[in-house]
Amino acid sequence: MELSEISDEKILENLTQVGKLSDGITIITGAGVSKASGLNTFRGKGGYYQNHSAEELASRSGFMNNPKLVWQWYRDRMRAVFAAKPNQTHYAIVELENMGLLNKIITQNVDGLHHMAGNSSDKIIEMHGRITESHCFQNCGYRIEWDHAPEHIPVECKCGALQRPSVVWFGESLDPEKIEQAEEAILTTKLLIVIGTSGVVYPVAIFPKYAINNNIPVYEFNTEKTILSDYVTYTFIGPAEITFPKFVKLLAENIK
Ligand code: BJW
Ligand code: ZN
């Protein structure tokens, strides 16, 4: 439903302790959050996976099979990321931190825009890595932090093997420390807000369910219903860059 279709009282009903939400809001973000910054989503119309499958572009076997294709995709995305600026959703999350309400941001995004917007590094858990970093595919230990997209692809490593983007591909494990931090954030939060993710990629996709099972309200902001919408507390339909800042304003007015 539209944010305007739900009364402020209803939105706030789970937040009767609004003033006591100190560090009590955890946010999960996905590609939809960066759409208004000019970065594409993965699934759906116009998404990256429309022309090539997720396995072709984002798995070890896809990389071994066609490293040039994979690097082409990452190079294009790196160019877009270096040109991108945070948008109103990112800034509204900074506002939440400034109001003392933010616990953690659990992001699937690899674009670094939460940092650029101004959230503190210790509030951000980047579950899927960073697109502007690469490391040796054969694990020789050599890493590169990029400040521009690579000219020559596939990118070679010092050791003669190939470099690969420092992101988490399908079938690869996420950093166990990050999983632990994220789980701790979910289980200690008073409200979970899920923004701009289709909710189909694990392990992040399981977190809203954990929260609900622990009686923690979950608010979803998305342009459309997702697989999560069936069980979350509310789904606010609309572009997050419009609906989410409105929601943060409502919160701000109610903790004065
Ligand atoms: C807007 C908007 C606007 C648009 N405002 N909204 C349990 C069950 C089944 C399978 C598995 C399982 N556990 C593990 C798996 C396997 C696999 C998985 O999840 N598969 C499923 C797809 C079935 N997971 C893994 O392999 C993970 N590893 C792992 O779990 O290791 C242990 C293990 C391995 C194998 C088996 C079992 C256990 C690793 C996952 C890595 C994901 N990597 C990618 C690509 C690499 C990073 C990169 O290049 O950027 O990460 S895939 C891609 O999807 C990317 C994203 O971070 C991720 C999530 O996508 P997201 O953010 O949700 O984007 P979209 O495009 O899907 O959705 C955008 C949404 O925004 C849409 O809803 C729009 O409507 C919305 N929107 N504009 C608000 N303005
Ligand atoms: Zn190497």
- The reported pLDDT for the residue numbered 256 is 65
Q: Enumerate the active-site residues.
A: 128
- Answer for the pair 110, 31: CB distance below 8 angstroms, yes or no: no
Dist CA 254 CA 8 (whole Å): 10
Nearest CA to ligand 1 atom 39: 170
pLDDT (tens digit per residue) in 112-136? 999 999 999 999 999 999 999 999 9
pLDDT (tens digit per residue) in 47-72? 999 989 999 999 999 999 999 999 99
For residue 170 and ligand 1, the question of a CB distance below 6 A is answered with yes
Query: Is the predicted pLDDT of residue 2 greater than 80, yes or no?
Result: no
For residue 171 and ligand 1, the question of a CB distance below 6 A is answered with yes
Nearest CA to ligand 1 atom 10: 202
Q: Which two tokens stand for residue 106?
A: 């659990």
